[in-house]
Amino acid sequence: MKITPQTYQQMAKEASPPTKSWVTIPSAFLIGGGICTLGELFLNLFTALGADKEAAGAWASICLIFLSALFTGLGLYEKLAKIAGAGTLVPITGFANAMVSPALESKTEGFVLGVGAKLFTIAGPVILYGCAASVIYGIIYYFIR
């Protein structure tokens, strides 16, 4: 049986559950905004404790990453993502979740070959291209200055 693109689109449309945008968009906005607000609260807390703005930002990021990894390990991040949808893809928490999830799935293979190897499945390319880009930008900046 040959399936045309139009037939495939129709089959996919019938098989996919309808999206309730009136529910998913506000929940993504509120939960994503809540994560960002939590980050701002951490930033203000560390600034009030005497850290300069750069150090306070680093500590706020560390706290968000830790909480995201902790919630992923406890199975709470997935439950939150089912409610919030794209709202949990706030870059730093979404990236931490994306790193921890494959590692947790491979913990039965051991800490070195399972968790350690899978931890960098997602992070490896990001770290590689991030470092390569920073070197290229540094060279360009050096010659421009």
Q: Work out the percent of the chain whose per-residue pLDDT is above 90.
A: 41
Residues 97 and 77 sit within 8 Å (Cβ to Cβ): yes
What is the Cα–Cα distance from 43 to 45, expressed in whole angstroms? 5
Q: pLDDT, tens digit, for every residue of 111-123?
A: 677 776 776 676 6
Residues 23 and 17 sit within 8 Å (Cβ to Cβ): no
Q: Quickly count helices (H) and strands (E) in the chain.
A: 6, 0
What is the Cα–Cα distance from 70 to 47, expressed in whole angstroms? 24
Residue 122 has a pLDDT of 67
Q: Give the residue extent of every domain in the chain.
A: 25-144
Q: Which is more confident, 126 or 97?
A: 97
pTM of the model: 0.69
Q: pLDDT, tens digit, for every residue of 14-56?
A: 888 777 788 888 999 999 999 999 999 999 999 999 999 999 9
Q: Identify the helix (H) or strand (E) that includes residue 105.
A: helix 91-105
Closest CA to 47 of 62, 36, 58, 37: 58
- Per-residue pLDDT band at 1 (split at 50, 70, 90): low
